[in-house]
């Protein structure tokens, strides 16, 4: 897949993408990220990329011409039909489903705003969609671009090793993760759950699914609501609730 980022800070994104799983995906060539910097298309000696807002007030707006040229270069370079996405807090919420939808595309253009934002007509005429990564204000669209690229990259075949993708595709889909443990077997008297030391792989799988269901029920019930459960999963979750209730009782008792 090819992703173009229109940004005043290409180095910020390039360096962040050089590491770990995404870095390897780029080395293998399953993901290609290209940069289009409006500053390269500024026309004056100072290479100006901002301009004063109509209506006055503090702050500046990304200058139209350099941005538009960078965006059009990106669109001309990427496969025809690549979606142009503006990253802003008022966009459609970016989540795993949006990422899954995008990872099938051959190309994607991400526009990272800076200053107080981008001329509204540019957004309307030169982009197709707006995405937001969450309800908070950031000083630029570069971090959202990184979040989007990392999430999508993990879904491209060839990014994750076979072991990693096996875990991802397994029963845990749509659930929060189960807890993980490594050595030592006890930390300050806190032991690793015994089942994980049992060597019984079926029991371990069952326990992990149960933990994932239980945690999702406790922390993000709306995710479970949306996803639904199989009959087997319902039974596992009921067992989780009962065990948890017993544990809570024991804690209450010990306080008395
Ligand atoms: C576009 C327009 C995305 C991009 C304005 C981007 C949050 C998100 C930005 C702005 C973003 C998100 C410029 C508005 C800086 C706020 C202080 C970059 N913030 N900004 N101003 N939630 N900011 O996805």
DSSP string, 201-230: HHHHHHHHHHHHHHHHHHH-HHHHHHH---
Does ligand 1 come within 6 angstroms of the Cβ of 134? Answer: yes
pLDDT of residue 219: 98
* 129 C-alpha to ligand 1 centroid (Å): 15
The model's pTM is 0.96
List, in order, residues 6 or more apart from 47 with CB less than 8 Å away.
39
**CA dihedral sign, ordered 108, 34, 78, 141:** positive
- Beta strands 2-6; 107-112: pairing state: parallel
pLDDT of residue 191: 98
CATH top-level class of 170-255: mainly alpha
Residue to substitute in 94, 115, 117 for testing ligand 1 pocket (most ligand atoms within 8 angstroms of CB): 117
The answer to whether the beta carbons of residues 58 and 42 sit under 8 Å apart is no
- How many CA atoms are closer than 13 Å to the CA of 102, on its beta-carbon side? 25
Atom nearest to 91 CA in ligand 1: 24
Residue 178 has phi, psi (to 5 degrees) of: -85, 165
Does ligand 1 come within 6 angstroms of the Cβ of 59? Answer: no
Atom nearest to 134 CA in ligand 1: 22
Does ligand 1 come within 6 angstroms of the Cβ of 138? Answer: yes
Does ligand 1 come within 6 angstroms of the Cβ of 142? Answer: no
List, in order, residues 6 or more apart from 256 with CB less than 8 Å away.
none
CATH 1.20.1250.20 is the classification of domain 2-153: no
Please give the chain's pLDDT, 256 residues, in tens: 999 999 999 999 999 999 999 999 999 999 999 999 999 999 999 999 999 999 999 999 999 999 999 999 999 999 999 999 999 999 999 999 999 999 999 999 999 999 999 999 999 999 999 999 999 999 999 999 999 999 999 999 999 988 787 666 655 589 999 999 999 999 999 999 999 999 999 999 999 999 999 999 999 999 999 999 999 999 999 999 999 999 988 888 888 7
pLDDT of residue 214: 98
Please classify residue 49 by burial: count the beta carbons closer than 10 Å to its beta carbon, then call 0-12 exposed, 13-18 middle and 19+ buried.
buried
Distance CA 95, CA 223 (A): 12
Numbered ranges of CATH 1.10.1270.20 in the chain: 170-255
Per-state percent for the chain, helix, strand, coil, to nearest 5? 50, 15, 35
């Amino acid at each position: 897949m090819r992703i173009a980022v229109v940004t005043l800070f290409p180095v910020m994104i390039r360096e962040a993408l050089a590491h770990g799983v995404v870095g390897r995906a780029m080395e293998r060539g399953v993901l290609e990220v290209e940069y289009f910097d409006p500053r390269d298309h500024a026309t004056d000696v100072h290479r100006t990329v901002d301009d004063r807002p109509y209506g006055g007030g503090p702050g500046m707006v990304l200058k139209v011409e350099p941005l538009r040229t960078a965006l059009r270069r990106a669109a001309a370079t990427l496969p025809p039909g690549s979606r142009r996405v503006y990253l802003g807090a008022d966009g459609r919420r970016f989540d795993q489903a949006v990422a899954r939808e995008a990872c099938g595309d051959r190309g994607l253009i991400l526009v990272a705003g800076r200053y107080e934002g981008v001329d509204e007509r540019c957004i309307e005429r030169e982009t197709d969609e707006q995405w937001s990564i969450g309800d908070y204000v950031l000083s630029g669209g570069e971090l959202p671009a990184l979040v989007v690229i990392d999430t999508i990259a993990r879904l491209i075949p060839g990014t994750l090793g076979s072991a990693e993708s096996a875990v991802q595709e397994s029963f845990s889909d749509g659930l929060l993760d189960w807890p993980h443990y490594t050595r030592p077997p006890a930390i300050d008297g806190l032991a690793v759950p015994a089942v994980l030391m049992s060597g019984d792989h079926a029991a371990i799988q069952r326990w992990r699914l149960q933990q994932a269901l239980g945690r999702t029920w406790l922390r993000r019930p709306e995710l479970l609501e949306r996803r639904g459960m199989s009959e087997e999963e319902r039974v596992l979750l009921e067992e989780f609730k009962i065990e948890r209730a017993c544990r809570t009782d024991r804690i209450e008792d010990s306080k008395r």
